[in-house]
Structure 1
Amino acid sequence: MKIEQIETFLMITETKNLSLASKNLFISQSAVSHRLRSLEEYLDCELFIRGRGEKLVTLTQKGEEFIEIAIRWKALWNETKQWALQESKMSLNVASIDSLNTCVFSNLYKELIDSSSQDEDNHSIILNVSSHWSRTIYDLIESHDIDIGFTLNSLKYPNAIAKPLFKSRGVVISSTSSKYTESVHPHDLDTADEILFSSIPEYHMWHNFWWENNQNEYSSVDTVSLLFTVFDLEKKWAIVPVWIARVFEKFYPIKISELSVSAPEYACYQVTNRHPKPSKLKAIEKFITALEDYMKKEVFINSVQ
């Protein structure tokens, strides 16, 4: 069936007159008759009863039944035509370790999601964000299940490219009533009160160097939310990237102390596939542009320094 046949059928049902239908459609009466015959041949049934040379027509039982189908068919055609003319929404799957999602990139995600809800021209990104361990992020990049990842580890994978984004120092966080001063040496820290929080091998090596004989004394957590939960314990301390400390102090009364002996820096990497999906190239480009703009903003700079 063709849309012209359906439109002609519906016009005839409305006017009950071939001559008036041709006038309303701006075509000849012979063209109306041709379209009607073609539609009836396609459907293999008679839709109208008409005599030779008669302009007036009457619907058959099949014609009456076909009206609703024709209306739905025309509506679906119009919807399909509109869909074909529209630019598809861009979707992007982003994954990061929990602490980066929570403390560094949450405002970026918020900006992109907000712009998506306000953009009526389909130029925005539909953003899907998840949290995973670093190795899982690399696995998902390899399998094209995510498009962009953020981790604190540069791992070797055949098709994963890790680009350094920024580095941040580690600081000591503790209760405001703790004994620790603005600058502390590792030997000043009591490992019996430590909450170990780290996801980079270099830090564990540094930690083992300073507290080699106290490896069984400390507790540990692996997410920011857990760290926040246990930190109402008065004597506890932890060494964390400064961007966790900056978020922490907004919600909790904590003390931030610098280390007199620097711990390894926390390097953040942007991970992408060497061969991204062609359908995701525009969304990736738009996201990276937004990321670059975000990293120039004060809210970002203040969080990682």
Structure 2
Amino acid sequence: MNIEQIETFLMVTEAKNLSIAAKNLFISQSAVSHRIRSLEEALGCELLIRSRGEKFVSLTLKGEEFVEIATRWKTLSNETKLWTLQESKMNLKLASIDSLNTCVFSSLYKDIINSNNAISLNVSSHWSKTVYDLIESNEIDIGFTLNSLKYPNAIATPLFKSRGVVISSTYSKYPKEVHPHDLKTSDEILFSYIPEYEIWHNFWWEHDQSEYSSVDTVSLLFTMFDLKEKWAIVPIWIARKFEKIHPVKISELSTEPPEYACYHVFNRNPKPSKVKTIKQFSEALENYMKTEEFLDSIK
């Protein structure tokens, strides 16, 4: 049983006439008869009632029942043909810390989702260690973090570095350049992902460690700067994102904190089915990092 026999049967049921069916299919009437007989032999039952000397044919009870099955068969065959012609959509799983997802790479994700129909992108936010764990187990394909951790198969390559700045309300008293001694920890909203910053922070505010408040996501940090004297030290790309959403004062530090380095994390042995997709994403990432939007956000 094949699709030619199915299509011929459906044409005969529609035309109710072998010669008309042959004409519509651009084949001979004997070819139509041969296909119908072959189909009946494959099914082990008669589908048509043929009356000698009459132009029209009618369906047996089995033939009537088979019309619905034949229609589904033809539909499935057409869908299969379309599927074989289409390029398979490649799934890419990506994980990053919240601030990089929100403030640095959201436009990249948007462009890929909007313009690259060949990639189905799945993005999630996690702590850095979780990102490395997921990469190590090959549960995700790409990761972005601010920490370089040692794992057997999770490889981290640096993408860019950015300075830290002080952000505060536009109504705050802080000047364009501020020294750590001019910042009270009782007014601080601590926000940091890197251990180097914690060491630097402890050096300047060693005796005031219990006075500050803290938040762990950018969305929470965004809500805090209606408060007049509150301040936080953040990577410049968070400050630039703030400027677009909410008025904020950005002050440079006269004594610079450690730089925030962003790392691109991947498994040294990716799944074979993901190699092509990872390459496509890496090319899109490389192009995105040359855009003015990206460069302006990290400077």
Answer yes or no: same fold by TM over 0.5.
yes
Post-superposition offset of 1:30: 4.0
Q: Structure 1 unaligned segments of length 5 or more: list them.
A: 117-121
1:58 matched to 2:81: no
Question: Which residue in the other structure is 2:225 paired with?
Answer: 231
Q: CA deviation at 1:248?
A: 1.2
* Cα distance, 1:92 vs structure 2: 1.7
Q: Alignment partner of 1:281: what SS?
A: helix
Q: Could you list the per-position Cα deviations for residues 221-273 of structure 1 after superposition, in whole angstroms to 9, with x for gaps in the alignment?
A: 10111111122211111110011111112233322111111111000011111
Compute the TM-score of the two structures, normalised by the length of structure 2.
Answer: 0.93
Aligned to 1:81: 81
Distance 1:12 1:77 in 2: 19
Partners in 2 of 1:214 and 1:177 — Cα distance? 25
Amino acid corresponding to residue 276 of structure 2 in structure 1: K
Correspondence 1:161 to 2:155: yes
Cα RMSD (Å): 1.9
Partner of 1:109: 109
Q: How many pairs does the alignment contain?
A: 299
Alignment of 1:142-161 (within 5 A): 142-161=136-155
TM-score of the aligned structures, taking structure 1 as reference length: 0.91
The amino acid that maps onto 1:32 is: V
Query: Residue 171 of structure 1: SS of its match in structure 2?
Result: strand
SS at match of 2:290: coil
Q: How many Å separate the matches in 2 of 1:280 and 1:87?
A: 15
Query: For residue 182 of structure 1, what is the aligned residue in structure 2?
Result: 176
What residue is the counterpart of 1:15 in the other structure?
15
Deviations along 1:114-171, one digit per CA (max 9) or x if unpaired, are: 214xxxxx5x422222111111111222232221111101111222111100000111
Pair 1:50–1:99, CA change in 2 (3 A): same
Q: Secondary structure at the match of 2:223?
A: helix
The amino acid across from 1:164 in the alignment is P
- More off after superposition, 8-17 vs 91-100: 8-17
Instruction: Report sequence identity in percent.
Output: 76
Shift of 1:28: 4.1
Residue 14 (structure 1) shift: 2.6
Higher mean C-alpha displacement, 227-236 vs 7-16: 7-16
Counterpart residue identity of residue 235, structure 1:
E
Aligned partner (choices 211, 228, 244) of residue 217 of structure 1: 211
Q: CA deviation at 1:52?
A: 6.8
1:97 — aligned with what?
97
Residue 241, structure 1, aligned to residue 235, structure 2? yes
Q: Does residue 289 of the first structure (1) align with residue 283 of the second (2)?
A: yes
Report the alpha carbon displacement of residue 194 of structure 1 after superposing the two structures with TM: 0.9
Identify the range of structure 1 (18-27 vs 31-40) with the bigger mean alpha-carbon deviation.
Answer: 18-27
SS in 1 for 2:148: coil
Cα deviation for residue 34 of structure 1 reads: 3.0
SS in 1 for 2:83: helix
Q: Is 1:277 aligned to 2:262, yes or no?
A: no
Residue 216 of structure 1 and its aligned partner are, at CA, apart by 0.9
Q: Report what 2:196 is aligned to.
A: 202
Q: Distance in 2 between matches of 1:254 and 1:19?
A: 81
Q: Which runs of 5+ in 2 are unaligned?
A: none
CA pair 255-56 structure 1, distance change in 2 beyond 3 A: closer
Counterpart CA distance in 1 for 2:24 and 2:6 is 14
Rounded Cα–Cα distance in structure 2 between residues aligned with 1:4 and 1:176 = 75
Question: Over residues 87-128 of structure 1, what are the superposed CA-to-partner deviations in whole Å (9 max), with x where a residue is unaligned?
Answer: 112332222111111111111122222214xxxxx5x42222
Report the residue type matching 1:63 in the other structure: G
Partner of 1:31: 31
Q: 1:4, CA displacement in angstroms? A: 1.1
Query: Residue 156 of structure 1 aligns to a residue in which SS?
Result: coil
Pick closer, same or farther for the CA change 1:31–1:252 going to 2, 3 Å: closer
Shift of 1:303: 0.8
Supply the distance in 1 between the matched residues of 2:141 and 2:129 (Cα, whole angstroms): 15
